[in-house]
């Protein structure tokens, strides 16, 4: 009887892990503009029916997408992280207009290089929702080679 309980418990944990949803996949790239400048590209590919939020969501709404870049000796940020024009729509669950992206979005961060190459490290936070639910905010670390 004890073994049946252990097996049932293990199977329930396996079911839980199979139910973890990851509707957003992230990819990273960089392109040198010249010897002193580069652009870092951070792309989200979003499953159908899901969306992530803009960097410019008002307080009281969902968790906005945000990027953090620690100070570096090999580069400095040149302005803020840019995003394309988002979709803006009233969401009942937040009681306000919110701006978001569906399918895919590419965020861009310009950098000034202090030497010929750099490794851009940082983290991002984002929240994913569909018409029925929102997933808890996620945090990801990234590292992008600029050659």
CATH number of the CATH domain containing 113? 2.60.40.1250
Q: Residues 90-116: what's their mean pLDDT? A: 95
Share of the chain above pLDDT 70, in %: 87
In the prediction, which pLDDT does 36 show?
A: 95
Tokens 């978001």 belong to residue: 100
Structure-token pair, residue 70: 């620690």
Task: Find the domain containing 100 and state its range.
Answer: 2-146
Structure-token pair, residue 94: 């937040």
* Dihedral of alpha carbons 132, 133, 134, 135, sign: negative
pLDDT above 80 for 6: no
43-102 residue pLDDT tens: 999 999 999 999 999 999 999 999 999 999 999 999 999 999 999 999 988 899 999 999
pLDDT above 60 for 10: no
Structural domain total, the chain:
1
């Amino acid at each position: 009887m004890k073994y049946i309980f252990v097996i049932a418990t293990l199977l329930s944990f396996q079911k839980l892990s199979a139910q973890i949803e990851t509707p957003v996949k992230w990819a990273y790239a960089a392109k040198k503009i010249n010897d002193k400048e580069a652009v870092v590209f951070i792309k989200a590919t979003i499953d159908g029916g899901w969306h992530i939020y803009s960097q410019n969501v008002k307080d009281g709404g969902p968790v906005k997408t945000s990027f953090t870049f620690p100070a570096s000796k090999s580069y400095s940020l040149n302005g803020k992280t840019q995003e394309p024009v988002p979709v803006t729509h009233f969401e009942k669950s937040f009681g306000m207009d919110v701006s978001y992206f569906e399918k895919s979005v590419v965020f861009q961060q310009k950098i000034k290089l202090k030497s010929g190459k750099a490794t851009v490290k940082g983290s991002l936070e984002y929240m994913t929702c569909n018409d029925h639910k929102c997933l808890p905010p996620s945090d990801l670390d990234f590292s992008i080679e600029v050659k």
